[in-house]
């Protein structure tokens, strides 16, 4: 009698935990999707700005042009550069020694 009651309570609590975990995972997935869309829009905007600046330089035979960047764009570029720097540093560390 008490054994089945305890088992039912355990199953109920297990279902509650699973439901809470699923809800948390769903919210995290939604947040990740939003961040991905924001990042894609940011990259698209940056690409467009830089393409326009490149075209302006080529058409007007300029060596330099001014591009206005938002704070988010600057942070994105900094993080991307940090990632590439770390990648290049690590690739140098783990590169095979030259063959003779």
CA–CA gap between residue 26 and residue 19 (Å, rounded) = 10
Pair 67, 50: CB distance under 8 Å: yes
- The residue that leads in pLDDT, 61 or 2, is 61
Residue 98 lies in a domain: no
Q: Is 54 domain-assigned?
A: yes
| Residue 75 located in a structural domain | yes
Question: Has residue 79 been placed in a domain?
Answer: yes
Percent of the chain scored above 70 by pLDDT? 99
- On the question of pLDDT at 81 being above 80, the answer is yes
Digit-coded pLDDT (tens) for 23-48: 999 999 999 999 999 999 999 999 99
Q: Report the domain count for the chain.
A: 1
- Residue holding tokens 């939604």? 30
- The angle at the Cα of 97, spanning 79 to 80, to the nearest 5 degrees, equals 5
Please state, rounded to an integer, the average pLDDT across all residues of the chain. Answer: 91
- Asked if residue 99 belongs to a domain, the reply is no
Give me the domain span that covers residue 87.
2-93
Determine, yes or no, domain membership for 34: yes
Q: What are the structure tokens assigned to 19, written together?
A: 């439901």
Q: Which residue carries 């300029």 as its tokens?
A: 62
Q: What is the mean pLDDT of residues 13-18?
A: 94
Residue 77 belongs to some domain of the structure = yes
Overall average pLDDT of the 71-84 stretch: 92
């Amino acid at each position: 009698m008490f054994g089945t009651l305890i088992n039912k309570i355990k199953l109920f609590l297990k279902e509650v935990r699973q439901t809470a975990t699923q809800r948390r995972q769903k919210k995290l997935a939604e947040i990740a999707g939003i961040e991905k869309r924001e990042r894609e829009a940011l990259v698209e905007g940056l690409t467009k700005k830089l393409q326009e600046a490149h075209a302006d330089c080529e058409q007007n035979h300029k060596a330099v042009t001014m591009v206005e960047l938002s704070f988010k764009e600057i942070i994105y570029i900094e993080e991307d550069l940090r990632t590439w720097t770390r990648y290049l540093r690590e690739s140098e560390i783990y590169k095979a020694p030259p063959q003779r």
